[in-house]
A and B are shown apart, each in its own frame.
Chain A
């Protein structure tokens, strides 16, 4: 292991042998990959998904619909395919997540599938995914959390390093080319949280996938860049960590593998992760005590410091805004007793009975909810600490609960049944053939044995 971060990650991408990767790590990729394919299927049902496909057809020279499994036209350059794919994947805020890192899986899946590599065996897919995931997580750890607090969207800025790693691995680039690719992708890094609640937020995921594909392809044709872009003055770390870097992260490359520890959280609800613990709490209290929405007079949420920061809409008027509104998701949960894709139709957000309940949600941050890091110096919004949720009824009763780990987190993983239900919800939202879709899900469960992933997905075109 060298002291040079850029060399460390490039060596890791190029030199890690398949046999160096533990079998459990390879196996652990299958759930997030399936989950990602599902949310990409559902992507066109969101406004950002519809619009990115419209754009793709506009810039395509043969813009027929549905030529690819993503429904994008087939003749776009790989980086545009990657951008469209991962914008679809993040369009519903339903793709998986990893605390402090963002949403790597959609980015990686979209980048890998966009690259010209035929056939693409299931083993290659898994291999590129697990390497890309590791680099994405460890570079995010290296950059630290101050980066996000300053206003950048880590999914986008750091996500490009993960997709670059996956692409370089898949294209079998040399260490030198891989270092160049990281240099290129550092100059592509961007993405502001100010765009949350608009279609540009999912675009960030698409851009991260695009950036990796673009950087790796340019490096593969001999394009040069600074070979030490993570190191020294005015490096990516220097400029984007905002003084909050954690150099020790590099020592943890592959030790443990991030896909195993901490491991991804598959989202149970299609909205901002910072709402998941409160939703769990409200649904639990409601079910345990047999409460109707009408019984509720007040909802109190105490969140860890920083836990409300991404929830910027208090009076959402679109489904997309509703995903970033704690008031809306809790009101919808009370009325519908579930939070699913249909909860974020634009009409759903405007329902009068929901609007009434939104007004009774009282949420605030409380440092005692994050005892290990009261000021959230190193914590992201949706993880660490716990949420306290109280339901006050009109009858004067108060029910309360505490939620530490949300459904779908490594501590409470989704069951295969949950995963299937989510996949099915996604197939329906995307108006896809359910039978063929579920068959694909079965085949993907044995991803390592698939001889050509592209051929498998080609059966899913509409």
Chain B
């Protein structure tokens, strides 16, 4: 019986590269999506603040794509890139694990190696994704419910695995890298609704790059840090014991099953199903906003926990406000990147409608796990939304699977549009984004991934300087 630490290290250092079109297919989708949200995220408050910080006291040219001077340590590039990637709450999701893709892509691209083929990126991404998913399962959901942000705490191990794979660390070195990563793991949900939430994603990427580099230098750490008394899982799992977490390791792959959920809206996934149900009712019953007396939402237990602000004062808080998301969607007929600007949040018409929206958790909405103890907030069960008009009409509907999830994936057209929207928001050109989409779609044969990104994105970055 080998330790969890050793099994995961073996996956990183010993497993053959996957040559599976199915795995590639899903990884490519997640990577393209991540590229978009990183570029869009540079316009966010968190992204611009970090850009100021990273370039301060340095007159050097910034590297297109991660916007960090070339002279800075690679982990700083990872920090800035993945903070941008999460800054709009628009990056993809793996239920129970958080938001691994932006972290992995940022960490891989920041790795201290001269060239990275598309094949290398995919290989490291799939391995990192797997380690992230397995450890998220091992630590259990109670970890998140207690108040840690799994994206950050567990994300660092995924990033460590991905960078370890790129640097070709051997098994012992990988175990030590995990040991270092364990001593870097932090991230509190109390910081949701502030710029520090996206920073968590950046930190996870940063921690992976730092841990893998230190281990590669010969830095020592506990070699079984995940296991045993006062190991990472002991301290952070809050008593959960998921002995089956590594079952089928190397045979079943998280990038394939369950696979990533790509986000359609730039806000908390927890509000998606409610937004979709509300929009469906509005369209199907031709309901005018002014005719609405009340919108009542019933959601599965656990859904409302991560949401925190029903009186949002800025765009960042609004991303976590259920009533804002629903009201804004009803007023505009849709949610888009512009729905979450500070100005949009202040609109009187939206604020007025918000006062008529209520949401509560109902155990009937999650029959398979009524308490929500083992479920992540946006998955499982269903939501029910009822709209009552001033005329006394009541309409209601139910939504089960969240849009963008593996059961209801975004179409190629939706994904292309999202990339273009993101790149344009980030200051780039739509034609470059279209070309980028096509080129990244053949990532398995790309000779130099960073050169590709530079070629298609540098015009945007240079113009904005």
Contacts and interface: CB of A to CB of B under 8 A. Distances in A.
A190 B73 contact: no
A169 interface: no
Contact of A198 (B147, B187, B220): B220
Given A61-B71, A186-B190, A200-B179, A223 B49 contact: yes
B146 A194 contact: no
A187 B201 CA distance: 11
Given A223-B196, A234-B147, A238-B147, A194 B225 contact: yes
A48 interface: yes
A192 B183 CA distance: 5
Interface stretch (A31-39, A75-83, A275-283): A75-83
Task: Report which residue of B147, B196, B225 has the largest number of chain A beta carbons within 10 angstroms of its beta carbon.
Answer: B196
B235 A200 contact: no
Given A187-B186, A194-B222, A204-B183, A226 B194 contact: yes
Contacts of B152: 187
A225 interface: yes
Interface stretch (B210-218, B276-284, B415-423): B210-218
A235 interface: yes
A239 interface: yes
Nearest to B229: A151
A303 interface: no
A199 interface: yes
A86 interface: no
Contact of A59 (B184, B203, B213, B232): B213
Interface in B75-89: 75-76
Interface in A302-323: 320
B200 A187 contact: yes
A116 interface: yes
A6 to B, nearest CB: 11
Contacts of A404: none
Given A77-B76, A198-B221, A193 B196 contact: no
B390 interface: no
A446 to B, nearest CB: 31
A: contact size bracket: 35 or more
B46 interface: yes
Interface residues of B, number: 57
A54 interface: yes
B422 to A, nearest CB: 22
Contacts of B234: 151
Interface string A182-197: 0110111111111100
B347 interface: no
Nearest to A76: B73
Contacts of B116: none
Nearest to B156: A190
A187 B49 contact: no
Contact of A224 (B149, B187, B196): B196
A184 B191 CA distance: 8
Interface string A169-188: 00000000000100110111
Interface string A123-141: 0000000000000000000
B298 to A, nearest CB: 24
20 contacts: A54-B218, A55-B217, A59-B75, A180-B194, A186-B188, A186-B190, A194-B179, A195-B221, A198-B179, A198-B220, A200-B220, A218-B199, A221-B49, A223-B49, A224-B45, A225-B196, A236-B190, A239-B146, A239-B147, A320-B220
Interface of B: 45-46, 49-50, 52-53, 56-57, 70-76, 112, 146-149, 152, 176, 179-180, 182-191, 193-196, 199-200, 203, 213-214, 217-222, 225, 228-232, 234-235
